[in-house]
Amino acid sequence: QVQLVESGGGLVQAGGSLRLSCVASRSTFRDSHMGWFRQVPGKEREFVAAISWNGASTVYTDSAKGRFTISRDNAKNTVYLQMNSLKPEDTAIYYCAVCYRLPPRVIDVGSWGQGTPVTVSS
């Protein structure tokens, strides 16, 4: 199974930016749709953004549109999430995921990373 390792999370003030990275352990990453989800304690894990295997298509949840950008570099087995204009409500643990369809639901995910925390102060 593909192993995913996220990085780039941290503490940032409202209005600031962060770039999350996710590195896959196997070259099969190249053939897979990829996505980002986030979760707050006590709430359901929710979809944030996803990108098709070749990078031709992207999809975002409404709250991320215009602020977040998902991209990938298949040569590096890496997917990114650039987050701008961050808001306190973006605070969550962010998870990288291998997805079987777009837009992905939680049940459409084949592999999860361990997560990287993002905290946005008000």
Dump pLDDT digits (tens) for 30-43: 789 999 999 999 99
35-67, pLDDT tens digit by residue?
999 999 999 999 999 999 999 999 999 999 999
Strand 116-121 versus strand 92-99 pairing type: antiparallel
Residue 26 has pLDDT above 80, yes or no: no
Q: How far apart are CA 50 and CA 43, in angstroms?
A: 20
